[in-house]
């Protein structure tokens, strides 16, 4: 009887050890995309979540580990109404303030315009601009200087959009795409497909219009998706280019994103990639900027900082520095 009991205990102990070893050897389950009624939810930028922990059984060996480094405090003096710092590859939000607050985006909305229209026309396609192409350009708009009757390649037009934030170039491309309102509706549909639910599109160029809003989170998403397209990445990172139509047939244009061009008292940010700046009286200064350091790319969005000279660029630089250190 005593021998049977000892044998049973020994067998039970060996079985428990075997089960524990098998469980510990199991890989952590892959995270399935959350679904609703059988449909995958659209991508949203979200804070990082830890991996599912391995099971711990009574008496099991617990391996040593290094505790996660405490999150660094966000830099002081950030006055923007909303901001995000996002990992461009994973979409993990490193830090944010009111990232889903709906605000006027100004020309940062041109990133969504490019996501929607850029893939449709080859860069060497030529457009002879008509009066209808330029109809309705908003008063006080930023312009690259498109002229009626002038021939432009699609690449010229996109350089006008990204470097000079030219609303005239946006109008021409929107007309090529089926018209102003049709393009706005297509942009809205594109935003919803991406899961950018904070965005309402009224004007493809970002010109102020009642009800037109986006968020720091959505704009970061547009930039991340855009940078996956080689043409988008090239245009948004171009500092200088020649543009048709000057007195000698072409003229130099410089990117208005001072963080990229290093102009008007702003130093070029180390590792800067792009993406797009903007300003309207309603939106204030807005900026999406991406930079790469040690093989890692971050996207920062800064919306409407207090009215100080170059504040949008200084705050974006401070947030990028913080994000690269915070990990």
Per residue in 99-146, pLDDT tens?
Answer: 999 999 999 999 999 999 999 999 999 999 999 999 999 999 999 999
Q: Tell me which of 45, 96, 142, 165 is the catalytic residue.
A: 165
pLDDT score of 324:
97
Question: In this predicted structure, what is the pLDDT of residue 63?
Answer: 37
**205 near 109, Cβ under 8 Å?**
yes
* Residue 15: count of CB within 10 angstroms of its CB: 10
Is the predicted pLDDT of residue 317 greater than 60, yes or no?
Answer: yes
What's residue 72's pLDDT? 60
Superfamily of domain 82-326, CATH level 4 = DD-peptidase/beta-lactamase superfamily (3.40.710.10)
Classify residue 178 as left (phi > 0), alpha (psi -120 to 50) or beta: left
Average pLDDT rounded to a whole number, residues 77-100: 97
Would you state the pLDDT for residue 4? Answer: 38
Catalytic entry in 45, 96, 107, 217 = 107
Band the pLDDT of 238: cuts 50, 70, 90.
Answer: very high
Global pTM value: 0.79
**Catalytic member of 110, 225, 276, 314:** 110
Average pLDDT for 243-264 = 92
165 carries an active-site annotation: yes
Tell me the pLDDT tens digit for each residue of 208-226. 999 999 999 999 999 999 9
Q: What is the pLDDT of residues 6-25, one digit of tens each?
A: 333 434 443 433 333 433 34
Q: What pLDDT, on the 0 to 100 scale, is given for residue 119?
A: 97
Question: Residue 29 pLDDT > 50, yes or no?
Answer: no
For residues 87-110, give the mean pLDDT: 97
The pLDDT score that the predictor gives to residue 71 is: 52
Q: Is the pLDDT of residue 46 over 60?
A: no
What pLDDT is stored for residue 242 in this prediction? Answer: 96
Q: How far apart are the first and last CA of the chain?
A: 62
264 is catalytic: no
Q: Is the dihedral of CA 175, 179, 181, 182 positive or negative?
A: negative
Six-digit token string for 208:
């102020």
Three-state SS across the chain? CHHHHHHHHHHHHHHHHHHHHHHHHCCCCCCCCCEECCEECCCCCECCCCCCCCCCCCCCCCCCCCCCCCCCCCCCCCCCCEEEEEECCCCEEEEEECCCCCECCHHHHHHHHHHHHHHHCCCCCEEECCCHHHCCCCCCCCCCCCCCCCEEEHHHHHHHHHHHCCHHHHHHHHHHCCCHHHHHHHHHHHHHHHCCCCCECCCCCCCCCCCCEECHHHHHHHHHHHHCCHHHHHHHCCCEEEEECCCCCEEEEECCCHHHHCCCCCCCCCCEEEEEEEEECCCEEEEEEEEEECCEEEEEEEECCCCCCCHHHHHHHHHHHHHHHHC
Q: Residue 247 has what pLDDT?
A: 66
Confidence of residue 308 (pLDDT cuts 50, 70, 90): confident
Distance CA 263, CA 291 (A): 17
Distance (Å, rounded) from C-alpha 3 to C-alpha 239?
85
Q: Catalytic: 142?
A: no
Position with higher pLDDT, 27 vs 101:
101
Measure the CA–CA gap between 291 and 134, rounded to whole angstroms.
34
* Residue ranges per structural domain of the chain: 82-326
Who has greater pLDDT, 53 or 183?
183
């Amino acid at each position: 009887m005593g021998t049977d009991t000892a044998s049973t205990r020994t067998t039970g102990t060996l079985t428990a050890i075997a089960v524990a070893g098998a469980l510990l050897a199991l890989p952590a389950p892959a995270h399935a995309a959350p679904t609703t009624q059988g449909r995958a939810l659209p991508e949203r930028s979200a804070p990082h979540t830890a991996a599912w922990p391995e099971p711990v059984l009574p008496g099991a060996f617990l391996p040593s580990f290094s505790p996660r480094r405490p999150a660094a405090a966000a830099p002081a003096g950030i006055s923007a109404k909303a901001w995000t710092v996002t990992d461009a590859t994973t979409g993990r939000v490193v830090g944010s303030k009111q990232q889903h607050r709906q605000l006027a985006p100004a020309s940062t909305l041109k990133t969504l315009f490019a996501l929607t229209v850029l893939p449709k026309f080859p860069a060497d396609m030529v457009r002879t601009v008509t009066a209808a192409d330029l109809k309705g350009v908003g008063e006080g708009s930023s312009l690259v200087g498109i002229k009626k009757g002038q021939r432009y390649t699609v690449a010229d037009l996109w350089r006008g959009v990204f470097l000079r934030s030219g609303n005239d170039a946006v109008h021409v491309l929107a007309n090529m795409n089926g018209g102003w309102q049709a393009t706005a509706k297509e942009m809205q549909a594109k935003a919803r497909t991406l899961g950018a639910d904070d965005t309402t599109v009224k004007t493809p160029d970002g010109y102020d219009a009642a009800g037109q809003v986006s968020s720091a989170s959505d704009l970061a998403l547009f930039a991340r998706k855009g940078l996956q397209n080689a043409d988008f990445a090239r245009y948004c990172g171009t500092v200088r280019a020649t543009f048709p139509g000057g007195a000698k047939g072409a003229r130099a244009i410089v990117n208005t994103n001072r963080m990229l061009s290093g102009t008007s008292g702003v130093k070029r940010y180390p590792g800067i990639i792009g993406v797009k700046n903007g300003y309207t009286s309603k939106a204030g200064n807005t900026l999406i900027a991406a930079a790469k350091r040690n093989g890692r790319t971050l996207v920062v969005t800064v919306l409407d900082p207090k009215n100080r000279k170059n504040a949008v660029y200084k705050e974006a630089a401070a947030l990028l520095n913080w994000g690269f250190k915070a990990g």
